[in-house]
Amino acid sequence: MAMAFFREDPNTSFELPGFVSPQAPAPDASAAGPIPLIKAKLQIPDASGALPRKWLTGVLEKSSQNAAATMIVGRAGTGKTTLAAEFIQGRGDVSWYTIDAPDGDWRTFQTYFRRAIFREGKKAERSAKLPVPTCDTPLDLFADLTAGLELRSKLWPSVLVLDGIHHLFDRPWFHDLFEYLIASTPVNSHTLMLSRSKPPTPIWRMRSKQVLNVIDEKLLAFSPSEASELFAHHGVGGVDVDAALAESFGHAGGLTQILHARTSARA
């Protein structure tokens, strides 16, 4: 069985295979008990202190115009979250969901995912108890979300960021979720996934059909001129840039540690 690509583009003939794997048991959505909301998981991180890298956000902007989704892949500290936060800064109608290891529980994931899609995270208190979700599969979830958005006269977020999606890779429902997510993203929206590794599900076909782009950590690495600009931006001089890049592998996190060490030593 094949399912037509959901993205409403008349020039697109991309098709996805049947999604529900017979080996993958349906997630247990029937367990009792409300789920507490951690509000910070639905808030956009502050990127105001980061060095603007307009060429890199430009790459992401082009990707958002040409594909349904972009996956930024890189190890911890490579600047994935900062890039995404900078990219959506000043944009309206965006949603952010930081995924942690416990979100591999189907009930927990779909609870937060719903809040992100409906942009309800800012309204809720940390102590709020969320109702138990009732969808058994990703197919049911996306059908329910579509109906809910229509009833509320709301649209899909213009940009949906899923930070830490690698925490879901080992879940039996991830393959279905991943393909439905990309297929369900409307033309005027973009899904941005941040991950420490590429997903176990094949993505070459999606990339060849230009519905998914991948930005890897080589592109995220700081150049010598950017590293110099970073230190100058924070008023730190006399840094051996080549040594700093070698020590940090050009990663934003490593350069930030060097910057903090220099700032502390100067204080």
Residue 5 lies in a domain: no
Please state the φ and ψ torsions of residue 18, each to the nearest 5 degrees.
-55, 140
Of 133-142, 245-254, 255-264, the least confident: 255-264
The mean pLDDT value for 38-56 works out to: 88
Residue 19 pLDDT greater than 50, yes or no: no
Residue 30 lies in a domain: no
Residue 155 lies in a domain: yes
Note the pLDDT of residue 133.
67
Residue 130 pLDDT greater than 80, yes or no: no
Residue 140 lies in a domain: yes
Of 6-15, 44-53, 136-145, 233-242, the least confident: 6-15
The mean pLDDT value for 129-154 works out to: 85
Note the pLDDT of residue 164.
97
The mean pLDDT value for 246-256 works out to: 90
94 and 211 part of one domain: yes
The per-residue b/e assignment along 31-63, b for 16 or more CB within 10 angstroms, e otherwise, is: eeeebebbeebbebbebeebbebeebbebbeeb
166 and 254 part of one domain: no
| Percent of the chain residues topping a pLDDT of 90 | 55
40 and 152 part of one domain: yes
89 and 206 part of one domain: yes
Note the pLDDT of residue 256.
86
Determine the straight-line distance between the first and last CA of the chain, rounded to whole angstroms: 65
Instruction: Supply the range of the domain harboring residue 229.
Output: 224-266
Note the pLDDT of residue 129.
55
Note the pLDDT of residue 173.
96
Nearest Cα residue to 161 out of 114, 94, 108, 78: 94
CATH for 113: 3.40.50
Residue 117 lies in a domain: yes
Residue 184 pLDDT greater than 70, yes or no: yes
173 and 76 part of one domain: yes
Number of domains in the chain: 2
Predicted TM-score (pTM) of this structure: 0.82
196 and 248 part of one domain: no
194 and 246 part of one domain: no
Residue 13 lies in a domain: no
Please give the residue that has the higher pLDDT: either 264 or 110: 110
Per-residue pLDDT tens for 68-99?
Answer: 999 999 999 999 999 999 999 888 899 999 99
Please state the φ and ψ torsions of residue 108, each to the nearest 5 degrees.
-65, -45
Per-residue pLDDT tens for 191-239?
Answer: 999 999 999 888 888 888 889 999 999 999 999 999 998 888 888 878 8
Boundary (domain end) residue, out of 184, 205, 220: 220
Residue 24 lies in a domain: no
Output DSSP code: residue 45: P
Boundary (domain end) residue, out of 185, 201, 220: 220
Note the pLDDT of residue 238.
80
107 and 232 part of one domain: no
Per-residue pLDDT tens for 227-246?
Answer: 998 888 888 878 888 998 99
Cα 251 to Cα 243: distance, rounded to the nearest angstrom: 13
194 and 238 part of one domain: no
Boundary (domain end) residue, out of 204, 220, 236: 220
Q: How confident is the model at residue 14 (pLDDT cuts 50, 70, 90)?
A: very low
Q: If you average pLDDT over every residue of the chain, what do you get?
A: 83
Residue 16 lies in a domain: no
186 and 121 part of one domain: yes
* Residues β-bridged to residue 163: 98, 194
Note the pLDDT of residue 27.
52
253 and 137 part of one domain: no
Note the pLDDT of residue 182.
93
120 and 200 part of one domain: yes
Cα 185 to Cα 179: distance, rounded to the nearest angstrom: 10
**Count of all residues that appear for the chain in the document:** 267
Cα 73 to Cα 241: distance, rounded to the nearest angstrom: 25
Residue 135 pLDDT greater than 80, yes or no: yes
Q: Is the separation of the CB atoms in 251 and 221 below 8 Å?
A: yes
